[in-house]
Amino acid sequence: MNILIGGKAGAGIKEAGKMLAQVLASMGYSVFGYVDYPSLIRGGHNFVILRFSEKDIYSVDRKVDIIVATDRRSVNLHTVSSKENTLWIVDEKIDMSNALKAPFKEVAPAFFKSSSILGVILKVLGISPEKGIPVVERLPQRDRNFFIYTEAYKSVPSLFKIEDKKIKKGIITTGNECIALGAVDGGLDFYVAYPMTPATSVLHYLAERQKELGIKAVHPENEIAVISMAVGIAYAGKRVMIGTSGGGFALMTETLSLSGMAEIPLVIYEAQRAGPSTGVPTYTSQSDLLFSLFAGHGEFPRVVIAPGYPQEAYYLARLAMNIAWKYQIPVILIGDKHLGESYFTVNLNRERVVENPIMWDKKEEYKRYCFTENGISPLAFPGTPGAVVKVTSYEHNEKGLTVESAESVLLMQDKRLRKLRTIKEQLLKNEKTVMISEYGKSDIALITWGSTAGVVEEVAKEMDLKVIRPLFIEPFPAQEVKRAIADVRRIVVVECSASGQLDKVLSMNGIKFHKTLRKYDGRPFFRDELKRILEKL
């Protein structure tokens, strides 16, 4: 079932959606929630689409079963989302025939109507009022909210009977929260960020839990300060992750190159939104893929990882921390608004995994950039007795002293680039590291990446198609993808990009395809929409 809740910004629409998702998850359902909001605090229109099912789901439909319209604007805007049998629930002040009217009341001018929305929906779904009490009690002005919740519950009839499965598939969380926890379990010491939607909630989440998680969250004055501070933190020996979106990442690229030259371990979470420039800041996109691959001047090794599910976001954020420190490189974890801010039902099995980097053995004179066969030099940190830890933005010799001779430049460039070969070899040998995801068996395959994973795999299951999805974009697992498509006669690339950035990556790696499906209006693919397009194709 798909439920849409719409209303003005600041009226608690997002909160109502999250509360309903939490109730449904507590009853044993898998819930996915798509959140749509403009870059306004008040005055705009917000809506949430929740889809819930007994089976695991990771997408929503454009056409919904129930529309909860708390104001006239919601009625006007969401007629396109209604079907012939869609149930409309409208505010009692709205004159609309054939619709169920409900009292969506605000607790007070300063508080929101989420408790009344929840009470109405639970009653319509035939869910016991006791199921909503735990989430209502967490709201401010608890007694007043509880009164309005119970009054709203009594105001409408039950029209469905949603059963309590008496199990629990997981808790409601977001991709951003999973990225935060994955980084913590990968040994995170500092999270440094300047607020930029849609990465901002990682900063909020970690800042609120600094003592509990044993980390520091730092908010400098701008994105240039963020990455510069992070380089200093890593140089001093502490694990650091930074977060931003495309515009902020653009400001960071000079210091990204410094990280590459100085071999400073650094994890960058790049949460994509619709651009260019300020673009559409609260909407989603997959248009920074090539930017992440090629950002920065000069040539240096990096790893680019693209999770598609919240569980992957946790695992790959943890892995990113360890890869950055093992190989002393920048690692870019690329997500987007859809993955970062949507609601998921997740059963997260947390485990702290912190791999120690190669450290100086103190047997010989310390050389920060010592030549090795695999390109990885032993680490020491400032204050280590007997070690002078010199890092530099200039080309340098093994000790970190500036050089300009052709031979010296060639030796150090080759030394750094050897790491990429080492990384790829070691990742492929590690059975625990999944570089591509394969789903289904068919001679027709969909290739996608990142947050489109859920909707593509759901539709593929319904249509009996195969899905191939690289989790690593750099180093790109070309041979693994070629093996996965060996018996496929038709390949369709699906992504939220206007220029087809994934198909360019595939072409660079010698992988041919037949058709591309691109969506670039700032919204993700909806399940019924993608299925309709693929059926026509």
pLDDT bucket at 462, cuts 50 / 70 / 90: very high
Average pLDDT of the segment spanning 121-137 = 97
**pLDDT above 80 for 108:** no
pLDDT at residue 27 in the model = 97
SS3 per residue for 482-531: HHHCCCCCEEEEEECCCCCHHHHHHHHCCCCCCEEEECCCCCCCCHHHHH
pLDDT at residue 110 in the model = 66
Average pLDDT of the segment spanning 119-126 = 98
Closest CA to 494 of 256, 363, 299, 308: 308
d(CA 159, CA 120): 11
**pLDDT above 90 for 160:** yes
Residues 287-328: pLDDT tens digits? Answer: 999 999 999 999 999 999 999 999 999 999 999 999 999 999
pLDDT at residue 337 in the model = 98
Residues 249-302: pLDDT tens digits? Answer: 999 999 999 999 999 999 999 999 999 999 999 999 999 999 999 999 999 999
Domains with residue ranges and CATH for the chain:
2-154 (3.40.920.10), 172-346 (3.40.50.970), 436-536 (3.40.50.920)
pLDDT bucket at 30, cuts 50 / 70 / 90: very high
**Token couple for 343:** 């609601």
Q: Are 42 and 10 in contact (CB under 8 A)?
A: yes
- Which amino acid is residue 533, in one-letter code? I
pLDDT at residue 10 in the model = 85
**pLDDT above 90 for 105:** no
According to DSSP H, which parts of 142-190 are helical? Answer: 142-154, 175-185
Residues 381-425: pLDDT tens digits? Answer: 999 999 999 999 999 999 999 999 999 999 999 999 999 999 999
pLDDT at residue 97 in the model = 84
